Amino acid sequence: MNKDIFFTMDVDKRAEEINKMLVNSDLKGVAGTLGIAYSSFTKEMQKEDFVYIARENQYFKFIRDKESLGNAKPSDKATIGFQEELTFIKENLETLKSLVSTVNEKPTLVLDKEIYNTKAKYVNKNLKLNENIYDKFSKLCENQFPHLKVQDLIAQSLLEFINTYQEFE
């Protein structure tokens, strides 16, 4: 593709061809290959609502949702969003109250930052534990804290024990 073809080509087809070129290059490289100033290239590519998504290194067609917003002004869009949120809250008020009360009843587990210390050295230790106690602990970890490592939960338990029973020096 050259400069003349770029400017006369159908915008949808042009975006498709430019995206193929972007597989092996960046925007400035493609503009240079075509012999077009970078600013002119990006301005031309925005015609017909094409937008560049950097994380994809591609151009995409921006689609406006005119049905749901009608001819709303920007301030009306915010009001529409607020009304949707308010309607959701009204419809789910009892569930939300229940959720909040459940969260407030259970203590929140916050792991100490010392557990995630990147300079910490780790050691392997064999512990002999009461099987019933370990089973209860293990089930609790699986049910309520599946996103955390058991080793981190044990470390948190040890820190809480230290903080509770260590005599002040």
Cα-to-chain-centroid distance, residue 68: 26
Q: pLDDT > 90: what percent of the chain?
A: 31
pLDDT in tens, 12-51: 899 999 999 999 989 899 999 999 998 888 888 888 788 9
What pTM did the predictor assign?
0.39
H/E stretch holding 6 reads helix 3-8
| DSSP states along 39-107 | HHHHHHHTGGGEEEETTTTEEEE----HHHHTT--HHHHHHHHHHHHHHHHHHTHHHHHHHHHHHHHSP
Q: What local confidence, expressed as pLDDT, does residue 78 receive?
A: 64
